Amino acid sequence: MAAHHFHTEDLPSSLALGVACGLIATAATGPDWSHPALRPLTWLAGISYGVYLVNHNIGYTVMYQLHQAGASPVTQCAVMIAVSIVLGWLLTRAVEQPVAKWITAARSPETAGGELPGRGLEELRRRE
């Protein structure tokens, strides 16, 4: 926070950054986010890598095309966000999840010839 303030000399944004960091740290120490009101946020978190992958190139292309068509900046942003979320969800469902399932199945104890890392810790906890 001090480095941010040193580089910007903008106290309100430095304080906002400090509050945001504090809220993130507080949320990270709490229980999982299972409250029904937070389901949209957890769903978005689940597809966030797919959204990250598509939002820059495709998002800017969508915004540029809408700008050329005369759409307002608010419309451009709204459509770019919607397109990024839909394509990120598709990428997650069609690529990320199947590949993750395939990789984890390929390293199961039965096919890998041994225990997965971490299973030894579970056994030690049960013995205590």
What integer is the mean pLDDT of 1-19?
A: 74
Q: Taking Cα atoms as reference points, which of 87, 67, 86, 92 lies closest to residue 77?
A: 67
pLDDT digits (tens, 9 = 90+) for 29-62: 767 667 777 788 888 989 999 999 998 899 999 9
CA separation for the pair 79, 59 (Å, rounded) = 9
Q: 3-state SS of the chain: helix, strand, coil percent to 5? A: 80, 0, 20
pLDDT digits (tens, 9 = 90+) for 82-111: 999 999 999 999 999 999 898 888 776 555
- Rounded to an integer, what is the distance from CA 97 to the centroid of its chain? 14
Of the pLDDT bands very low, low, confident and very high (cuts 50, 70, 90), residue 63 is: very high
Contacts of 14 (CB under 8 A, 6+ apart): 1, 2, 4, 5, 8
What integer is the mean pLDDT of 113-124?
A: 53
Question: pTM of the predicted model, to two decimals?
Answer: 0.61
CA separation for the pair 1, 28 (Å, rounded) = 19
Cβ-contact 94, 54 below 8 angstroms: no
